[in-house]
Structure 1
């Protein structure tokens, strides 16, 4: 028996549309490779190509109307509150900036007479490269495309096995030329496209492509780059905007000059080595390939089989690795963070502006960063948050008269923190910055570094400071947020009226509980701010507690309202279950059962119909220790919300489901959000045998595991920080160090405590396995 562990997704025909093209990226520069035979098309993006410049959109009338809208909500005068919110608490203007496509690079290939045979298009996740091969008229053609992080360029190589068989014409395109400002030559082997992103104080950008060949000829005619009678040609493509450099065209030419001075093999090997340092950290094997190895089938056919009700063990490992690949490809140090589409967008006006929606979606993008051993990929989000802090101070003061910083439910390239849209179910929500600040705390929990905590604490504390000022006493005597919403749901009043605005919704309280708790712990560890710590502790005591409603569900609002849409895609009031920590079957079984009922009610009414929502549901069930439900919804994510190129389908494409699904698989295998590490907490029966290497646990631990027959057979814990390791195991275990010596442990109930030494490796052997061995 062999376990499936797949890192290749392949197709037997070219992409017919964008949802079938294959993604590449280096964080800053990305592309979608179509693999079309006659004309290769690579739609490309640069992460800073956004419309417009920075603005102050803070509504100048918000502060003076804040007491009134609070009074209206406390008195239940909903219609008046909604009208006031839409005028005084929306942004001015209403919308933030949006992401744009950079363009297309098109390569028209002249083929010999004959027929097309042996076509194969493949995304090699192990090498981060798209490879297209085929035969035409008896000539074998091969294309390789990748985006290099070390060289910051896209590299495209075309080869033919008959001397002089490659003749082609290439050019830049951008939405059929309607959005291209200028295209010109640079010498005899390079073409350059330059464009204005549009809008007041907007950016400009350039893209440049250079052709290199050892045989044949290269020339520029008009805006076309031509290659004649070559054996092989290498294109190097660069793009840049004025967001980072003063002269994008000059910068692109410099990148091309540096990259073209090196052989293709060196560019490729440096790219692969750099990428594999991240990708190879985690390996996963699931299921028994002897019971149906589908790797010989194209990825789209495998997906169709799952959609028809069949199973495919290898497709789960492929999907997991694809998610890690995407995060490496669209979020690297120095880039902007992954937006709603990662980095891949072919539209001038993309869905939801392809920006940063921070009431769940962008946070979900980074759920796998820590557990799946890609902590560096988290850094761009932290950098954006630091820029948001500057703007958020202005928003906090101008709109609410509060100290600290605040952000609403969206942001953009300029770190805008004012409200987005005039959309009652979402706009007036002040928790976006607080949720993002918790990502700093999560990074620290996985990587306990006092120097990082000092930096993170200032941001966390400043978010908490806003709420210290913003919270107001409700008629019930609680400290609550007001005004607010429960994203993005509506409730029904007994008189039939529906509403969105409210005070003290459950999600707000849950986020603030996590934030204040994190600030308390951080201040204790750093020995700072004792007075603030006491204030946070007092505030926590005055906030509402979670309540169980009439159906046995966890209440979404302070009152036990009925939902307007009981199958709504947002399940925000289960934040405390995931990604929060205050609901768990062991520590809070009554709340965990209420969370279970909440999920069942949502699903019974059509919930999980968007990809990202289904991904969140996987994580919920994993936290409830229900492996069968978590597995079922992983299967449903593939069957109902995944496009042929394995991109997540909201619909349309939205990348958060990919990242949430990857994180959910990791959550089924290891959990460490409480005060211990739990191995195989939600292992489904469909994965009775398996192994994983390199997952991370909070406390600075790397974990390798093997299991057989649904039971753990061995685990290896690598301690990176020397913190105490508390393992939850159903039966006693033996612990052996790297020298083969047994390590003394303390066993309290189901918890085994190991006094771990920094850099030490510990092998965990369950008692049942040990008995068999002896």
Structure 2
């Protein structure tokens, strides 16, 4: 089957954007653009990944080993009020700065001598197949066409404007940003430059450069271009190409010279060649996957914002869900490329403010991790690499914090980090600041990348990072009154409990999420060491410590216990559901292997949701993944509908509110989990397929073990699945492996390879196992 019908892969609208959350995003990971599509007063809002204000990178003198010891003693002795007060004093966090808007390209158009103001047949769109924004409209009987893209190859935003006849444009162009900028004429022909700093005298310097290439030869009219006082004026142009690029001194000695080089190269290449190379490069990533959940042709004729509105009124639109899914993949490609310096932040790469929501930083108590849940499963493994670079950057400062604040080896980070990889406590937020698990959770992405790719060369390079993350906990964990080893001080991210005497606090020892993360981290590190044949003694030490971690417990109300004791929650419907980390993403809780815990996880979700949980976009997205892991198709589908109808802006950005991109990525991951899961060594086909998606197909989805899977289904039943094996990145993987596959009534299916039936063994829980040879593909079809 083939989904490459271009109409189905577009967001489109019949009027210009009037708000930022209506504009359409473009990006190459380094540069981001938001295109409004106004025919007369166009704004293209620009970002560059390293435009950050400077934060405070130092540890406060109050954050010392002695202070931490006092807090530990108070917690372990049960003096929680005292521990809370001491924690608020000791964890008076630093300011890690903010990701900032780079600026705006402002384009004021006039059309012909009559200066017509009436627009007909307007349409703007974002083509996900090509990562190109198009705006089409008619003014004065002339049809205008504008195409925009951000090229990863040429490092420019490029825009082409053409018309079908007699185009004569008057254009005034300039650059601006809310503060800290100056604009002057550039060295290049018909160019202007915007320069400044991102804050005080210690901040990064940035440079943005705009160049326009007009064509005056098309219709015999005399035209000319001028640059004066930081403005470009074009008269009587028959076509236009607009180029923009930007850089900072984060790594470049001369951002302005770098911009000149980018633009000179782009001008010499020309728009058509830039576009051709851009489409070819981008398509190699985007076209790896296809998804159809059933079609409704009626909706092809409705703008995207109207489709979202109808869905919020209760309509079903499966094609819109498939579009939303691919939009999530598009956003990761556009904000996190292999070549990038930085991973996707809290807003990907798109931010129109000097101080973005929550600083638009890398919030690592779930949000940054959620950004990358789709990287491997959605066949975008290369997009994971900027996150690994950030982890490596964090190690240097994470070691300092581990040593000076906690007296430990290894490295760690708290709940936030930034462009410099800061590991210090951030701000003074009692329910978040003192959490010590940020680096540990991020490191699980290293293991996930290996599980999907089986790339031992990668694991050899990454293993020391996993080991260092473990070393911190080897030293940091303390023994509690029951003889268990616990994190202390810590908290369950952003949540608050009430003690028996009525005191409200977050500080505790050994919250459930910490234990789950450490179990997963230790397990991944132990398995990595075994694969590589190293550190036998360290494996033994980790195993001994792992066995002394607090186990998952069920509370008196039947839910998974969030804290070490059965405390009363202050906000039952809290947006974080951290105690269910073991369900998702960890996979420690499963229906087959831990049914009692799975039932308690269900009750946890039901209790949270019955008290208003899932009210933010990213939380709703996490809930989709959790219902999928519980194989509850009805509830998983309900929250897919919920995030689209209640937490999605007209341009399909996720609404926390405000915009946070993790909701987009998390929901895309959740839809994948509904259709295919591969945790626990089993490829589970259609584990949470809802009735509403009874017909469809999914091609190119990835599974752990370095597999790629295609599936088709009709009337809610699997008709065919194909498992592709791959040796290209699986160094060290044996030629013959055993794969396990799960599906309801799987014994009614046969497995074929090269037209021959492959024998399989039937196992418990509807699982079959069979041998596979790398480089072959295996079809699962009805007998």
Question: Shared fold (TM-score greater than 0.5)?
Answer: yes
Query: What is the rounded CA distance, in whole Å, between the counterparts of 2:288 and 2:61 in structure 1?
Result: 47
Alignment of 1:108-119 (within 5 A): 108-112=108-112, 113=114, 114=116, 115-119=118-122
Structure 1 partner of 2:249: 242
Query: What is the rounded CA distance, in whole Å, between the counterparts of 1:726 and 1:678 in structure 2?
Result: 9
Structure 2 partner of 1:653: 659
Contact 1:54 1:201 in 2 (8 A): no
Range with greater deviation from structure 2 (31-40 or 194-203): 194-203
Structure 2 partner of 1:528: 534
Q: Does 1:763 align with 2:768?
A: no
Contact 2:2 2:290 in 1 (8 A): no
Query: What is the rounded CA distance, in whole Å, between the counterparts of 1:143 and 1:752 in structure 2?
Result: 54
Structure 2 partner of 1:309: 314
1:350 Cα offset (Å)? 1.4
Contact 1:405 1:466 in 2 (8 A): yes
Structure 2 partner of 1:492: 498
Structure 2 partner of 1:185: 186
Alignment of 1:158-237 (within 5 A): 158-175=161-178, 178-215=179-216, 216-237=223-244
Deviations 1:2-43 (A, max 9, x none): 989731010011111101100000000001000112111000
Structure 1 partner of 2:421: 415
Deviations 1:628-656 (A, max 9, x none): 10000000001110111100000111110
| Cα separation, partners in 2 of 1:63 and 1:224, compared to 1, 3 Å | same
Structure 1 partner of 2:219: none
Q: Does 1:379 align with 2:385?
A: yes
Deviations 1:649-678 (A, max 9, x none): 001111100000001111101000111100
Query: What is the rounded CA distance, in whole Å, between the counterparts of 1:354 and 1:574 in structure 2?
Result: 26
Contact 1:20 1:643 in 2 (8 A): yes
Query: What is the rounded CA distance, in whole Å, between the counterparts of 2:325 and 2:456 in structure 1?
Result: 32
Q: Does 1:103 align with 2:89?
A: no
Alignment partner of 1:45 out of 37, 44, 47:
47
Structure 2 partner of 1:714: 720
1:550 Cα offset (Å)? 1.0
Contact 1:3 1:288 in 2 (8 A): no
Structure 2 partner of 1:753: 769
Q: Does 1:266 align with 2:267?
A: no
Alignment TM-score, normalising by the size of structure 2 = 0.95
Alignment partner of 1:284 out of 273, 283, 291:
291
1:263 Cα offset (Å)? 2.5
Structure 2 partner of 1:34: 36
Contact 2:188 2:260 in 1 (8 A): no
Structure 1 partner of 2:220: none
Contact 1:160 1:166 in 2 (8 A): no
Contact 2:185 2:228 in 1 (8 A): no
1:59 Cα offset (Å)? 4.4
Alignment of 1:29-178 (within 5 A): 29-52=31-54, 55-57=57-59, 59=61, 61-91=63-93, 94-112=94-112, 113=114, 114=116, 115-175=118-178, 178=179
Q: What secondary structure, in the 3-state scheme, does the structure 2 residue paired with 1:243 have? A: coil
Deviations 1:695-739 (A, max 9, x none): 0000000000000111110011111145432111332232222x3
Contact 2:336 2:344 in 1 (8 A): yes
Structure 2 runs not aligned, ≥5 long: 217-222, 728-734
Range with greater deviation from structure 2 (710-719 or 47-56): 47-56
Query: What is the rounded CA distance, in whole Å, between the counterparts of 1:23 and 1:3 in structure 2?
Result: 23
1:494 Cα offset (Å)? 2.1
Deviations 1:441-492 (A, max 9, x none): 0000000011111122111111010000000000121100000000110011
Query: What is the rounded CA distance, in whole Å, between the counterparts of 2:62 and 2:409 in structure 1?
Result: 17
1:200 Cα offset (Å)? 4.9
Alignment of 1:290-329 (within 5 A): 293-329=298-334
Deviations 1:416-453 (A, max 9, x none): 00001111100111000000000000000000011111
Q: What secondary structure, in the 3-state scheme, does the structure 1 residue paired with 2:245 have? A: strand
Deviations 1:504-534 (A, max 9, x none): 1000000001011111111111111111101
Q: Does 1:726 align with 2:729?
A: no
Alignment partner of 1:330 out of 310, 331, 335:
335
Contact 2:410 2:471 in 1 (8 A): yes
Deviations 1:568-625 (A, max 9, x none): 0000010000000110111100000000000000000000000000000000000000
Alignment TM-score, normalising by the size of structure 1 = 0.96
Alignment partner of 2:710 out of 704, 712, 726:
704
Contact 1:59 1:90 in 2 (8 A): no
Alignment of 1:351-430 (within 5 A): 351-430=357-436
Query: What is the rounded CA distance, in whole Å, between the counterparts of 1:494 and 1:60 in structure 2?
Result: 30
Structure 1 partner of 2:624: 618
Contact 1:182 1:195 in 2 (8 A): no
Query: What is the rounded CA distance, in whole Å, between the counterparts of 1:288 and 1:132 in structure 2?
Result: 26
Contact 1:4 1:314 in 2 (8 A): no
1:77 Cα offset (Å)? 1.8
Aligned positions, number: 760
| Cα separation, partners in 2 of 1:425 and 1:195, compared to 1, 3 Å | same
1:68 Cα offset (Å)? 1.2
